[in-house]
Amino acid sequence: MPKLTELPAWKAIESHFTEVEGLHMRDLFAQDSQRFEKFSSQMDDILLDFSKNRMTDESFRLLCNLARETDVEGWREQMFEGKAINISEYRPVLHTALRNRSNKPVFVDGEDVMPKINKVLQQMRYFSERVRGGHWRGYSGHLIKDVINIGIGGSDLGPHVVCDAMKPFAQRGMNVHFVSNVDPTHLSEILKFVEPESTLFIVSSKSFTTQETMMNAHSARQWFVSTTGSEKAVAKHFVAVSSNTQAANEFGILSENIFEFWDWVGGRYSLWSAIGLPIVLYLGMDHFEDFLEGAYAMDEHFRNAPIEKNIPMILALLGIWYNNFFDAQSHAVMAYNQYLRRLPAYLQQLDMESNGKTITRQGERVDYLTGPIIWGETGSNCQHAFFQLLHQGTKPVPADFLIPARSKNPLGSQHKVLLSNFLAQTRALMMGKTEAEARQELESAGVAEDRLEEMLPHKIFEGNKPTNSIMFEKLDPRTLGALLAMYEHKVFVQGVIWNINSFDQWGVELGKQLAGEIMQVLAGDQPPEDYDCSTSGLLDYYSTLKT
Ligand code: G6Q
């Protein structure tokens, strides 16, 4: 298999890049009034306008060729069909089966997995309806008012972003909390405000061995037993979501209260599985199914739309354009929607854990950049914080801007003001402000000649800063499902093109292993003699402070 950088499609982009690098989007827009029509695509009500990017028709054509030459379409089918594309863990990658609303069979090792997926969905419906309808009560007959999800990484970030974003759809009187950090403060601060008799804990862990989750789960159990005085009551207040049902049993959770998922669901892709249980308890199963429907609609679009109109493919190709040719180190995501405030945290894991890799599928070191640093904040807050760097800094930062056309909370003209900021920022980033415009502005403001010359360089904006605008009607479960699936597929396409395995996470496993080793030193063992002096020095300093 030829190296990525030796492929004809890559070489063609490389030589084309030198022609495009110096072009300004302001001129590209002036030359082509059809740019928006040409460079936009729609799936249901989700519109992607990618016209504010530093590319010509030819750039786009060459990028699409790269997707063809790296066989993105072939890999896509392998994923949907359950082939073991996670090559370092020898597993299929089938989060798409979890939201396969067609219910057509999907085979793993000759077994159709749809019946067991449907069975767990039914179990989630039955359980959530009992809890939400007041039939499942706490040990002393109280209604369940607080659900606490204990999980970390993929067993936390997905359900957390969804519950936060879907707050307007939540059942009145039902609260959901997320405990992830092993820092005891996280659990303690939540326990201060809940009553054990009306609290349900979900221990969410694919492996059921993750140190942070297990410690938090044991602490929660201890708190529960010591405040209620009843071991027996644990059964009514603790359920588990895991692919390791035996370990969940051993923790003391009854088999009927364990919600299963499987090793072909990666942690960061698991929110569509039983890991979505907190979502279901908070929003209800019908809303969760709408969420799955939205993701399925995006899956179908991803599978069937031609590359030129395929939203996840386009986002992926543009990301590669900036990452590998403009040397952009990061990619920002700005949701102009307060409900989406956890979106950057979720995307950081999705993207950086998937594509933060240096080894190709053939086991060689890459000689090109792979996954970008993902970051972001909600609009318009971000404008008053780091946007200065986007407008006038030295680093290229391509960005996605997302906004719903309608707000869940229409307050006077506030949503229109939000939208005007969204439009003004993407336009300003693209257009910039020329010297002549800045001069004109200062003159109109009556600035004296000598002062004007001093101020002028500071008032110029280069512009030519790329953005994607993603606009949709409203943020509801269906649209959110589609948006998250859109990003999953974007990450997938980039991984295929970079020729890396997006579905393992050995760096995460390393953290789990190292923390265990150092714990033994903290528990009193001598540090190994070959420990680096920095770690030994910190351990010594800690021992002087801890008492
Ligand atoms: C995700 C990663 C990682 C994982 C957590 C929690 O893809 O594998 O973030 O989700 O480490 O793991 P458990 O669910 O096994 O506790």
Residue 509, token pair as written in the block: 């496993």
Beta 330-335 vs 373-378: how paired, if at all? parallel
In degrees, rounded to 5, the angle at the alpha carbon of residue 223 between the alpha carbons of residues 218 and 224 is: 95
- Chain-centroid distance, C-alpha 479: 15
341-396 pLDDT per residue, tens:
999 999 999 999 999 999 999 999 999 999 999 999 999 999 999 999 999 999 99
Residue 49, token pair as written in the block: 């306008």
For ligand 1, the distance from its centroid to the CA atom of residue 154, given in whole angstroms, is 5
For ligand 1, the distance from its centroid to the CA atom of residue 25, given in whole angstroms, is 42
DSSP string, 119-145: HHHHHHHHHHHHHHTTSS--TTSPPP-
The Cα–Cα gap between 434 and 352 comes to 36
The single-letter code of the amino acid at 23 is: L
* Nearest in space to 55 (alpha carbons), one of 28, 85, 74, 31: 28
Q: Residue 215: CB within 6 Å of ligand 1?
A: no
The Cα–Cα gap between 322 and 52 comes to 13
**Ligand 1 atom closest to 268 (CA):** 7
For the chain (length 547 residues), average pLDDT per consecutive 10? Answer: 94 98 98 98 98 98 98 98 96 98 97 98 98 97 98 98 98 97 98 98 96 97 97 96 95 95 97 98 98 98 98 99 98 98 98 98 97 98 97 98 97 97 98 98 97 98 98 98 99 98 94 84 82 91 87
- Chain-centroid distance, C-alpha 6: 31
Q: Residue 508: CB within 6 Å of ligand 1?
A: yes
* Residues known to be catalytic: 353, 384, 512
Angle between helices 477-498 and 157-165 (to 10 degrees): 140
pTM, two decimal places: 0.97
For ligand 1, the distance from its centroid to the CA atom of residue 174, given in whole angstroms, is 26
**Ligand 1 atom closest to 269 (CA):** 7
Q: Residue 158: CB within 6 Å of ligand 1?
A: no
Burial of 300 (0-12, 13-18, 19+ CB in 10 A): middle
Q: Is the dihedral of CA 239, 208, 491, 83 positive or negative?
A: negative
**Cα separations in angstroms, 533 against 95, 527, 529, 537, 541:** 44, 11, 10, 6, 12
For ligand 1, the distance from its centroid to the CA atom of residue 444, given in whole angstroms, is 58
Closest Cα to atom 9 of ligand 1: 153
110-140 pLDDT per residue, tens:
999 999 999 999 999 999 999 999 999 999 9
The single-letter code of the amino acid at 62 is: L
